[in-house]
Structure 1
Amino acid sequence: MDKRILAETFRLIKQKGFSFTMNDLAAALGTSKRTLYAYYSSKDQLVEAVVEQFIAEMKQIERDIYENESLNVLEKVKQMLISLPQGMELLNMGLLNELKKYHYDAWLTLDAFIKEEWAIVLALLNECKQQKRIRNINPDLFVHMYIGSINQVYDPEYPLKHQFTTGEVLESIVDVLFNGITADEEADAT
């Protein structure tokens, strides 16, 4: 039942934001509020559990990519930068603002994850530098530029939201960050 509660809560958050009620959740599950409160003592505790599950899923995606031996180090970085934010598509800026306003402790947990959980990407970027697969850049600055870029994608007012899928936008961001905007000299010569 616990997994069903979390899954339905996640669905309701996508549908209604954090304004869903425990009555909404109980009705969607075909159960009573009493049953819900047997699992979670409050809506805050439930939202915190959803955030923790969400973070665990993102970390698992990251681990799966990191441990994928068929990818080289540069491909791993690119996959992480494209795959992880796609999993976070639910968390647009509007939802993040609601989370912060109504469930501050859960927001702090998620915010810390978003800002601080870059150790694997940073290690891979440093490995890329050592292997001379990327230029001698500052990996921390690269990550901050990347975060700034994806924050724009999750902004509800993002002007290109309906022209491109999130995946297309993320792939373009990663392409520009990795390859720049100048044309390849060899391509220009042909």
Structure 2
Amino acid sequence: MDNNVYFKILKCFGAKGTRFTTEDLARELGTSKRTVYAYFSSKDEMIEKTIDFVFTEITQSDTDILEDAELSVQEKIRLYFQNIPDAYSIGTIIRHMDDLQRYYPRLYGKVNHHLDTIWDGVIELVQEGMNHQELRKVDTVILKLMLNETLRKLLDYEYIANHPVSFESGIKAMSDIVLYGLMKEGFL
């Protein structure tokens, strides 16, 4: 399926939350509702496949970094943090989490699962770096908590609107804090 369909669903979802209609999507795509239903059997499926699309894009680019055998642990961690996801796509979903929780609780759980596991790869790298004495010992449970909560806050539209930080600058600042607090001298 053309990725453009998912971007159009995100646009509709961003504008109306879960209250967007198949007609809204058809209009956005310049097609008929019947054509939309040729791709999706329900709105539930539209939303779910769009959530999968957004998080698969992130996961795949992270996996490419993690599986690159030519990179050191430090290089992988640095690249992982520089691999900033598309704030619009994730933010659109996060902004309407209340709607998902109310009307699509299974999908709400799925988004939360993705957000809770998004940093697992970097946590594994940190553990590997600590095991090889390339990184200082840190509590990875607390590190993951810090990363998760910072990501969620940076995706919170109200928080960003009330603070002089963008998603991208916040992720970069967080990355700098974590990287330069973890790396041993000589590895920078």
Q: Report how far residue 50 of structure 1 moved.
A: 0.7
CA 1:100/1:79 → structure 2, altered by over 3 Å: closer, same or farther?
farther
Residues paired across the two proteins, number: 180
Partner deviation per Cα, 1:133-176 (whole Å, 9 max, x = no partner):
32111212211111112222112221566733322211111222
Contact 2:119–2:148 (8 Å) recurs in 1: no
Q: Give the aligned partner of residue 19 of structure 1.
A: 19
Q: How does 1:157-176 map to 2 (within 5 A)?
A: 157-158=158-159, 163-176=164-177
CA 1:70/1:18 → structure 2, altered by over 3 Å: closer, same or farther?
farther
What secondary structure, in the 3-state scheme, does the structure 2 residue paired with 1:136 have? coil
What secondary structure, in the 3-state scheme, does the structure 2 residue paired with 1:134 have? coil
CA RMSD of aligned residues (A): 2.6
Contact 1:82–1:167 (8 Å) recurs in 2: no
Aligned residue type for 1:116: T
- Rounded to whole Å, the distance in 1 between the matches of 2:10 and 2:18 is 10
Q: Report how far residue 40 of structure 1 moved.
A: 1.2
Q: Give the aligned partner of residue 187 of structure 1.
A: none
CA 1:171/1:70 → structure 2, altered by over 3 Å: closer, same or farther?
farther
Q: Report how far residue 107 of structure 1 moved.
A: 1.9
Q: Give the aligned partner of residue 129 of structure 2.
A: 128
Q: Give the aligned partner of residue 32 of structure 2.
A: 32
- Rounded to whole Å, the distance in 2 between the matches of 1:30 and 1:160 is 33
Unaligned runs of 5+ in 1: 185-190
- Rounded to whole Å, the distance in 2 between the matches of 1:161 and 1:67 is 38
Unaligned runs of 5+ in 2: none
Identity %, equivalent residues: 26
CA 1:74/1:15 → structure 2, altered by over 3 Å: closer, same or farther?
farther
Q: How does 1:102-181 map to 2 (within 5 A)?
A: 102-158=103-159, 163-180=164-181
What secondary structure, in the 3-state scheme, does the structure 2 residue paired with 1:158 have? helix
Contact 1:62–1:80 (8 Å) recurs in 2: yes
Aligned residue type for 2:36: L
Aligned residue type for 1:134: L
What secondary structure, in the 3-state scheme, does the structure 2 residue paired with 1:90 have? helix
Q: Report how far residue 3 of structure 1 moved.
A: 4.0
Q: Higher Cα Rg: structure 1 or 2?
A: 1
Contact 2:160–2:166 (8 Å) recurs in 1: no
- Rounded to whole Å, the distance in 1 between the matches of 2:70 and 2:16 is 40
CA 1:116/1:52 → structure 2, altered by over 3 Å: closer, same or farther?
same
| Structure-2-length-normalised TM-score | 0.80
Aligned residue type for 2:58: M
- Rounded to whole Å, the distance in 2 between the matches of 1:95 and 1:70 is 40
Q: Which moved more, 1:167-176 or 1:154-163?
A: 154-163
Q: Report how far residue 70 of structure 1 moved.
A: 5.8
